Structure 1
Amino acid sequence: MHFTFKSSFWTDRYEDNQAPWDLNHISRPLKEYIDQLHDKDLSILVPGAGPGHEVSYLYHKGFKNACYLDFSQKAADEFAKKEKNFPLDQILVDDFFMHTGKYDLILEQTFFCAFEPSEAARRKYVQKMYDLLHPGGILAGVWWSFPLNTDQEEPPYGGSKEEYKRLFREKFQVRKIEECYNSEPERMGKEYFCVFRKSMGND
């Protein structure tokens, strides 16, 4: 098993304060996407939530059906300490690929890039997202736009617009893959904002 699929790898990173992907706040692209959502009853999943900035923002905006999911108990415990009023049954410590549930919306932020960047692993991610969404459900968020380096040992792993289109179009309608205009300064020019819609079955 590739080390990125082991919870111990991620727990060690959090315990050693080795989480360079953590902005200490919600990223601007995700914030602006959430701000244009109006249905507060949406069931929402944030997988690989880590510090949980997106989940916190959703919760305080009134999205009471937002769920936190992470592989690391340490990360989940830290989130629970920070968000003392957040429903404990919506803080999920689980292997994403074993998780069951159905959601209207899943938000992606530095999660896809964290796995072993093999074709098989990335197709597994796409299939699992498809399985977790209701028909017509949306997967939206940020994917890296810098090239994938196959010799790179540790995440984050990059990708290309062409790869993302190829991977997702078998299961999803590709609604948007665009360069982020509102990235954080240190990420400007390195991100796509993507929106994928699960097929209704007869689309």
Structure 2
Amino acid sequence: MTETPGFDRSQELAKASLAAGSPTDWFEQLYDAAAHGEVEIPWDRGGPHPLLSEWFAQYPEEATGSGRTAVVPGAGPGHDAELLASLGFRTTAFDISHTAIDRITAAHPSSTVDYRVANLFDLPEEWRGAFDLVVEAMTVQSMPRDVRTRATAAVRSLVAPGGVLLVIGGVLPPEPDPDYGPPWRLTRAEIEAFGTDDLALERVVHDTEGIRYRAVFRRRAA
């Protein structure tokens, strides 16, 4: 998350949401405010995440979506999901904010993406182990560290045997303030925690500015 119009408002809403005992209510509040023209969504860059597009360009074999499934937790503006669908992936994308989903479906009325309102902490059972590609771009880092283990496990659970998990986020500052957020950027150990048992970390790469990273995990085939 970069400091764009809406960043301060997202921090205010997140703090209020946390004080009320919820790590996620602020998403709907922010999208509702954006729908009324009060703020901009700070993570809406107008297109797919550059590190996702770059991955497909560098590994064209991964861009063949025909016959494969993909999911985007935290659909946000929908750009990543639309990219996956354009590559032929049978794509699902979900967000806890119904306003976010309404905005996406209004912007893409002919989309082939199956957009859903869903809670990362209460996923449909049929989604577990169901997706050949999982694109987790900045969703886990948007939630505080006291729910990080649960959020990480939920994302991990979506990956099918032989499937790939991409984790994209911002690099943690050298001297991070643990109370500053969102985002609560992941430590190296927290990135590696996505890989357990049969889901192995293959590589972590950074963008040319050293601001963002992309971690690639692959689950052992059944």
Provide the TM-score with structure 2 as the length reference. 0.76
| Percent of paired sites with the same residue | 23
Q: Which amino acid aligns with 2:93?
A: Y
5+ long unaligned stretches in structure 1: 182-187
Q: Kindly provide the CA deviation profile for residues 179-199 of structure 1, in whole angstroms up to 9, marking residues without a partner as x.
A: 223xxxxxx322111101224
Among residues 63, 75, 78, which one is paired with 2:103 in the alignment? 78
Give the superposed CA RMSD.
2.1
Corresponding position: 1:68 with 2:93: yes
Instruction: Check conservation: 1:145, 1:161, Cα contact below 8 A.
Output: no
Q: Which amino acid aligns with 2:111?
A: F
Structure 1 position 42, deviation (Å): 1.4
Alignment of 1:73-152 (within 5 A): 73-87=98-112, 90-100=114-124, 101=127, 102-118=130-146, 121-147=147-173, 148-152=176-180
Q: Within 1, Cα distance between the matches of 2:144 and 2:64? A: 35
Quote the residue 2:211 is aligned against.
Answer: 190
Structure 1 position 23, deviation (Å): 0.7
Which structure is richer in relative contact order (CA contacts within 8 A, separation 6 or more)?
1
Structure 1 position 178, deviation (Å): 1.8
Instruction: Check conservation: 2:65, 2:84, Cα contact below 8 A.
Output: no
Alignment of 1:24-43 (within 5 A): 24-35=46-57, 36=60, 37-43=63-69
Q: Within 2, Cα distance between the matches of 1:41 and 1:49? A: 22
Q: Which amino acid aligns with 1:71?
A: I
Corresponding position: 1:20 with 2:45: no
Q: Within 2, Cα distance between the matches of 1:161 and 1:170? A: 14
Provide the TM-score with structure 1 as the length reference. 0.82
Q: Kindly provide the CA deviation profile for residues 9-42 of structure 1, in whole angstroms up to 9, marking residues without a partner as x.
A: 1111112234212112112111122342123221
Q: Which amino acid aligns with 1:163?
A: E
